[in-house]
Amino acid sequence: MSDLREGVRQRYAAAAHVVREGMAANDTAEVGGCCPPEDGLAVKLYDVTERAELPAEAVLASLGCGNPTLVAELREGEIVLDLGSGGGIDVLLSAKRVGQTGKAYGLDMTDEMLELARDNARKAGAANVEFLKGYIEEVPLEAGSVDVVISNCVINLSTDKPKVVREMFRVLRPGGRLSISDVVAADALTPSERAERGSYVGCIAGALSFAEYDRELTTAGFEDVSIEPTHLEVDKMYGAIVRARKR
């Protein structure tokens, strides 16, 4: 399992390097991720007005499979946590929505992505953001300290998803909610069939099925669980929006 985590870390560290060095050199080298920028989908999921207000590096480093901030219904003054925040695009968008009375945290295990995200926050002039180093299985925040947890195609990369779900439940306040974009497999697909469709670091082999996702969230104590497919990633595997609430 540690080898899988290290493989993920290396891939996203390399992606951060490409964003930094590639932009300076007008490099077109591939940026790895669940939905690499050259595929066009990740960028298309963000409104052109939103993109225009962000540093170009934050947009280029968007490697997810959706736009969780679009459906999170963030409100002024809320505290938001983005699990696997990468270059910071969802943190910066969340910070705008919650305003100066709110705050947006980003959590990432990759030094290179954290450095890129902090640079992007400085360029954006975002004072109500904070990027933390750590693992999504061990969130370095107190229990009941956030109103909303978001994530963009990162939960599937964890090697201990039940622990991630328990951590999300722990850090949320009563009444808090999830708004997660992730890759989800059709219930009929076995783990080996998922692995045939793509790699773990490519966000395919490690994806939960719809039923498995629902079960993990419900077991942890979440209510009002909703898993809505939005587009096809590969055969019988979908980009999806996952929502749930903590009583």
CB-based contacts of 104, cutoff 8 Å, min separation 6 = 79, 80, 81, 82, 91, 92, 94, 95, 98, 126, 128, 129, 130
C-alpha closest to that of 153 among 218, 72, 208: 208
Q: Which domains does the chain have, with CATH numbers?
A: 2-246 (3.40.50.150)
C-alpha closest to that of 178 among 65, 82, 64, 90: 82
pLDDT of residue 37: 47
Q: Which of the residues in the chain have pLDDT under 50? A: 24-30, 37-40
C-alpha closest to that of 167 among 141, 137, 146, 140: 137
Is the distance from CB of 189 to CB of 205 less than 8 angstroms?
no
> Distance between CA atoms of 131 and 108, rounded to whole angstroms?
8
Length in residues, the chain: 247
Strand 237-246 with 79-83, pairing: unpaired
> Distance between CA atoms of 154 and 158, rounded to whole angstroms?
7
Strand 172-185 with 237-246, pairing: antiparallel
